[in-house]
Structures are given as C-alpha cells and as structure tokens.
C-alpha cells in the first residue's frame, strides 16, 4: 500500500477493562459518524485498515475495539501498531478502566461472567495484567468509576471527538426524569409533561420510549408533532449563531416525569430529524430510561 493509494483515514483504537464502558464509547463514536468494529483480533487490524484506507473508500474515520475477548491475541497488538505507524495512518488509543469494586458491581448487575475467569476479581486482576502494555501506550485514559454513561459521552466528545466536530455544532440530546433532578450541564431544558403519560396505560407502563407501542402513543398525537417541528426549527435557527460565536456544543435536555416514556420517544425522534442537517452532529443519551418506577 503506497501513499498514492491512500485517502485520509483516522483510526481510534478502543480498549480497556471489561465492564469499564467500551460499549458506550462505541455508541458515542458511531453517533459521531465513525465506522465501528467491535472485538477485532489485533492480527486483522492491517487488513481492515488497508481496506478502509484505499482510495475510493467512503470510510474516513474508524473506531476499532480490542479487549480481553481476544485472549492471547494481545501479543500481536505490537506489530499491528507498528503497521499503522509505518503506513503513516494517524491513530489515537483510548483506554477505559474502573475500580475493582465498581467493575464487580456492574458485572453483578448484568449477571454476566467475566471473559477471563469464573471468579470476577481473578478475572479483573488477570485482565489488568494483560492490558498493562496497552495502557502505557494509550493517548487517553478514562477512569469511569464515577462516570455515568452520558458523562462518559461528554468526556469523549470534549477530547477525542473535539477535532471531528470542529466544523459542526454538536447537539447533545438527553432525555431525563424530573423526578431525579435536572441535568446540570443543560443549555436548554424542554418539558414534555404536557403530553398524556403512558405510565398510566397498563400495557405501556413496563415499556419505554424505545418501544414501538410507546413511541406511537406519544408521537402520533398532533401536539407532539407540533412540538417537534418547533424544537427542530429552534435548534436550526440557533445553530448558525452558535457557530459564529465559536460555540461548538449545545446540550438539550428533554424531560418527563420518570424519564422512561415521553421524553425518550421524543428525543429519539428529534435526533432522527436533526441528523438530516449536515451542519449538526448529534449525540443522544437517555439518563433515566433504565430506572425502575
């Protein structure tokens, strides 16, 4: 592969401890327009990167996840990194970690076994040793012990994704429940409690705004459509002024009572519509959707 055959390609390598937030990191990069591949064996990195780097490829930003599921393949990570350096392909490495107690609690909450050992603590200890060399080479190390998924998103948007978003306004949409307090970093707070609450419909109560039944219940109402049209118009109207003032990020919080139904459905639809605007880059998170009512 010669330089004449290459087009601009930027690669982000995502690694770190199991349970530290790699799935949320991948979702964040996907929302920023990256092509993402999870659980890629290191020895396959040269072939994958060559495919995307060739002239004619429409992919110019890639995020690749390497983790303990690759087992002993980590010994092949060194040659893979040397390939990127030799080929002149810019790359950054993100390493995610968390305290042992936090990782154990996350595993217990999901009831999933650790990929390296039936014992959680032994698996975590072994994984830390396995990843020591990679951690030392990381461009950014993020400890997610005290970070919620949406705060991890913010951290990545402000660091590794900052350059990617330099020519666009990043609109961070976040649904939330008023019951649990207002988001502390919101620029605009929108209230969806004027719409009927699916919580009071027995069949819809256990569902969320991510489910089609709840989505239809909320979005098919004329008031919801009028609300969405006005919010889309407001954000598009503000975007050009924000960019002129060198403001690169707008956080829009959309709330309902519990943060599970109305706000989630509306935020999903709002994100879908705003993604059609090339001047905007969308990030979407649902702070309280997994809380039990």
Q: What is the pLDDT of the chain when averaged over all its residues?
A: 87
Structure-model confidence comparison of residues 163 and 172, the more confident one: 172
pLDDT value at 2 more than 50: no
The neighbouring-strand residues paired with 176 are 255
What's the sign of the alpha-carbon dihedral 169, 175, 179, 180?
negative
Single pTM value for the model: 0.62
- 220-243 residue pLDDT tens: 999 999 999 999 999 999 888 887
In b/e form, how buried is each residue of 157-176, taking b as 16+ CB within 10 angstroms? beebbeebbeebbbbbbbbb
Range picked from 1-5, 182-186, 212-216 for highest mean pLDDT: 212-216
Helix (H, G, I), strand (E, B) or coil at 191: strand
Write down all domains in the chain, each with its CATH number in brackets: 3-158 (3.40.50.300), 169-286 (no CATH)
pLDDT value at 3 more than 60: no
């Amino acid at each position: 592969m010669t330089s004449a055959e290459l087009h601009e390609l930027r690669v982000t390598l995502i690694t770190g401890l199991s349970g530290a937030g790699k799935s949320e990191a991948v979702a964040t990069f996907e929302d920023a327009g990256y092509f993402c591949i999870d659980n890629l064996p290191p020895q396959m990195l040269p072939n994958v990167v060559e495919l995307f780097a060739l002239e004619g490829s429409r992919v110019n930003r890639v995020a690749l996840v390497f983790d303990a599921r690759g087992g002993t393949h980590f010994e092949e990570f060194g040659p893979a990194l040397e390939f990127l350096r030799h080929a002149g392909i810019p790359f950054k490495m993100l390493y995610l970690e968390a305290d042992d107690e936090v990782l154990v609690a996350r595993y217990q909450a999901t009831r999933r076994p650790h990929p390296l050992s039936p014992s959680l603590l032994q698996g975590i200890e072994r994984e830390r040793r396995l990843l020591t060399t990679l951690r030392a080479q990381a461009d950014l190390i993020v400890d997610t012990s005290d970070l919620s998924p949406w705060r991890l998103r913010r951290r990545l948007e402000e660091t590794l994704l900052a350059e990617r978003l330099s020519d666009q306004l990043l609109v961070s949409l976040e649904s939330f429940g008023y019951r649990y307090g207002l988001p502390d970093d919101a620029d605009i707070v929108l209230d969806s409690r004027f719409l009927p609450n699916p919580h009071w419909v027995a069949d819809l109560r256990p569902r969320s705004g991510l489910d089609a039944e709840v989505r239809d219940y909320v979005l098919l109402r004329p008031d919801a459509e009028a609300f969405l049209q006005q919010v889309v118009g407001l954000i598009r109207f503000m975007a050009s002024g924000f960019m002129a003032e060198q403001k690169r990020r707008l956080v829009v919080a959309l709330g309902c009572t519990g943060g599970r139904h109305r706000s989630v459905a509306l935020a999903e639809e709002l994100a879908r519509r705003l993604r059609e605007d090339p001047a905007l880059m969308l990030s979407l998170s649902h702070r309280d959707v997994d809380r039990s009512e």
